[in-house]
Structure 1
Amino acid sequence: MKKTTLFVWAVCICTLALSACTQQQEAKEIRPMEIWPDNAGVHVNAHGGGILYHEGTYYWYGENKSDTTSSAMVGIMCYSSPNLTDWKNEGAVLPVVTNDTTSEITQGCIMERPKVIYNEKTGKFVMWFHLELKGKGYAAARSAVAVADRPTGPFKYLRSGRINPGKLPFDMTDEQRAVLDTLDAGKYTEWWTPAWYDAIAKGLFVKRDLEGGQMARDMQLFVDDDGKAYHIYSSEDNLTLHIAELSDDYQSHTGKYTRIAPAGHNEAPALFKKDGTYWMITSGCTGWDPNEARMFSAPSIWGPWTQHPNPCAGKDAELTFHGQSTFVLPVPGKKDAFIFMADNWRPKHPSDARYIWLPIQFNEGKPVIQWRDSWTINDFDHLLN
């Protein structure tokens, strides 16, 4: 009788232990548009961000937004997680400068859409972000770079500037260059006319900014399978996207770049690759207000890029679920698993901006993003591609 009792107790204990272990392994829910508390119970403050997966840990970098302004009062934040749901606040890994008003990243400047990539050759973590100088509005349109030895920093600020001064797109033909030479800005003082749009498409603003370098605002980084890295950004006063090749150490540009959708008014690019095809999701330019997402694909990073219909489906799809794209995360260890990341901006209370993360499905080979109130990382195991 005692042996039977002991056996039953042993079975119960093992069952409870197995149940507890299973519960620990169950993925937690991702709930778009809700408050996402960090390890201190405070809403994650990493807007316009992107994620780096390194040695088993996810690192989320983004803009710290205050309660009253979108200017940089703290700097660029980092959060770490083993599972994409439990986030530890690693602090400001590139803080603003508070004791030197001449610094490019002095408190009150604009630091947007930071992205970090890891360079296998140098062992450095390289951050690029959109920088606007304090008190200058959005006139600077610069790209800034910083580096670190660890994913949690501290990052060392290197410099900022316009991109590829003195360089024309590498794939601009002799005929196109001849047309570019004829463009006279003085003839196109009235914006938004058909003639002005045509001149923009032909490179009017490329020519305007040739000497000082091309403008760069909303931006993205992408590392290809061969280790080559690329900088994707909204240029030419947000009218045309550029893709520019980065140097081997990822800390500068090689001078090689191309234009995408000239005069198309795209921003917020988020690029990923599946089965040899490059996909890019963007938004239109409507300030803080949401709009309908756009999608492009290409057989090569250099194009040709083809536009497709809005990839979002369901309620409020025409407003990208009230969000704006910022990143697409390939999920490590899960084939063809990608997470679409977007921001729900709240300009009247910037720090309360919410996050929209949704799984990307594929219908006849094309990405589809369907709204879900909640989902888990394990849902990818059941999604049909």
Structure 2
Amino acid sequence: MSGNLGIQRLRAVSDCIRQIAALFGDKKDQKVRVRPKNRKPTTFPCNAGSRYSFTALVWIILGFFLVFHLVSVTQHRENKDSREIQSRGSPLPRTMFRELEVVEEMKNINIPPPRGKRSPRAQKRKTNRWLPPIIEEFLNEDSQLRHIFFPSRKNAVDPMKMTENDSLYYFPGRVWLDTDGNAIQAHGGCILHDERSGTYYWYGEYKDGVTYRAHRKAAARVDIIGVGCYSSKDLWTWKNEGIVLAGEETNETHDLHKSNVLERPKVVYNQKTGKYVMWMHIDDANYTKASAGVAVSDRPTGPFQYLGSKRPHEFDSRDMTVFKDDDGSAYIIYSSENNSVLHIGPLTDDYLHVKNVVRRILIGRHREAPALFKHHGTYYMITSGCSGWAPNEAMAHASESVMGLWETLGNPCVGANKVFRQRTFFSQSTFVFPVQGHPGLFIFMADRWNPSDLRDSRYVWLPLVVAGPSDQPLELGFGFPLWSRVSIYWHRKWRLPNGWSTLR
């Protein structure tokens, strides 16, 4: 219907232009043609002696058309949103999570002077020039600022021992313990909500091993141990379900041999087959394999059977995620072409293979760590830059279609201070999932990597809100979409609204 209206508007404009052209022909024609003095006025109250040029009138009419189109698009989106809200029932008042949108500021970090006496020349030689001072302090395990980014274990979040005042509160950056009192090992992971049992499953890289480098210029790494799984009813108390996909100890040719790389596991449930499907980034120690692996299981707690890996669409694939849409279709999104482009492509109906369809997006932007989610028919995505273990600035993106044109909205981080916002609160995105019963409220999952001891990497969970018009300059395309603002709010301590439920 909207397409027919657009065609009708274009035809109307073209008719107007033709009529104006007929009235204001070229001056050559005006000299040749003789008009009767008593000729009746045309539909438009203009004449050959008018001071307004043909070009100006055309631009005025086009301007009115564009304004009218913009208003109609706005009304269409408002009607669409209202219909969706009505179909879901009355939404809960936004006041229930308004406290999560409070801008919490932080003092600027003062970089301490170097310990001991060192000459300026020696200090200059030992400094990595490409790193900003604050990033260098973040990566330095001997930094005096270490406690800011990695609070000591004595401040750990232990759901089994927390006082009533701290119960159900998230503390981004602190050690997070499971019900057995051990640090949760689920890095680069995802959350799967099992609707039948109302249980959440958290999957991620199990990095409880020794951090080392394969050679002097190699990236810090931990041998593949496997994919860990944790279950919860409240998203705060997590039970360790064990290793659901284990690494390989002896077979050096296996993708999951301990010397290789397994990163960013993502699990989705297939209603048609009744299987739980896991996709992950598979690589060798030098990151030259650049493939995507797949595994499958009958149960969310595994064990998962590894089926192999391949380069999707015959392109290199590194940081990746999987997104399942409302209609049951699933897509793989991965960083490719030496991390310069993101690729998106649909999976087959069983989610075990990649269809031979791909779209290249954010070309030349060098984005990775995609985390895709959906709200009121619009697709959103959070990505990070490519800077190894060093944190960088996140960006939010939006599109009307998974396989459509993606536009950049800007940095979604709100609060803390400028240094933290420009470094995504010193973390990297991994997943975004909705809070049941609260339209527009999501949880942003990120990892605060500790390259000197990867098993001590921390989790940064923060409230993400989709609401209101964007306050960032947009790269507008045809149609003038009015994207909603995506905001990730910094909180040193926060909890979900009272009354939230795992049930839809």
Matching residue of 2:260: 109
2:438 maps to amino acid: K
2:267 & 2:167 partners in 1: Cα distance? 26
Which of the residues 365, 371, 381 maps onto 1:264? 365
Aligned-pair distance for 1:232? 0.6
2:394 maps to amino acid: A
Aligned-pair distance for 1:120? 0.3
1:333 & 1:115 partners in 2: Cα distance? 24
User: Are the structure 2 counterparts of residues 146 and 331 from structure 1 closer, same or farther at C-alpha, using a change threshold of 3 Å?
Assistant: same
Matching residue of 2:432: 328
Going by fraction, where is helix more abundant, 1 or 2? 2
Which of the residues 119, 122, 127 maps onto 2:270? 119
Which of the residues 281, 299, 323 maps onto 2:382? 281
On the 8 A contact 1:72/1:111 being kept in 2, the answer is no
1:292-303, aligned counterparts within 5 Å?
292-303=393-404
Matching residue of 2:302: 153
Matching residue of 1:343: 447
Matching residue of 1:371: 490
1:10-21, aligned counterparts within 5 Å?
none
Aligned-pair distance for 1:89? 0.9
1:363 maps to amino acid: G
Matching residue of 1:128: 279
Matching residue of 2:216: none
1:335 & 1:308 partners in 2: Cα distance? 20
Matching residue of 2:204: 62
On the 8 A contact 1:359/1:380 being kept in 2, the answer is no
Structure 2 stretches lacking a partner, 5+ long: 1-162, 213-220, 470-483
Matching residue of 1:28: 168
CA-based RMSD: 1.7
Is 1:48 matched with 2:199? no
On the 8 A contact 1:71/1:111 being kept in 2, the answer is no
What secondary structure is seen at the aligned counterpart in 1 of 2:497?
Answer: helix
Is 1:253 matched with 2:354? yes
2:375 maps to amino acid: K
2:260 & 2:222 partners in 1: Cα distance? 6
Structure-1-length-normalised TM-score: 0.77
Is 1:100 matched with 2:248? no
2:454 & 2:343 partners in 1: Cα distance? 28
Aligned-pair distance for 1:30? 1.1
Per-residue CA distance 1:17-55 (angstroms, 9 max, x = gap) = xxxxxx99x961111101100111111011001110103
On the 8 A contact 2:210/2:222 being kept in 1, the answer is no
Matching residue of 1:85: 236
Which of the residues 212, 220, 225 maps onto 1:74? 225
Aligned-pair distance for 1:379? 6.4
Matching residue of 2:97: none
What secondary structure is seen at the aligned counterpart in 2 of 1:321?
Answer: coil
What secondary structure is seen at the aligned counterpart in 1 of 2:170?
Answer: coil
Aligned-pair distance for 1:303? 1.6
Runs of 4+ in 1 over 3 A off after TM superposition: none
1:87 & 1:377 partners in 2: Cα distance? 16
Greater gyration radius = 2
Structure 1 stretches lacking a partner, 5+ long: 1-22, 165-212
Matching residue of 1:354: 458
Aligned-pair distance for 1:67? 3.5
Structure-2-length-normalised TM-score: 0.59
Per-residue CA distance 1:212-242 (angstroms, 9 max, x = gap) = x111111111111111000011011111001
1:123 maps to amino acid: G
1:47 & 1:116 partners in 2: Cα distance? 14
On the 8 A contact 1:64/1:72 being kept in 2, the answer is no
2:459 maps to amino acid: Y
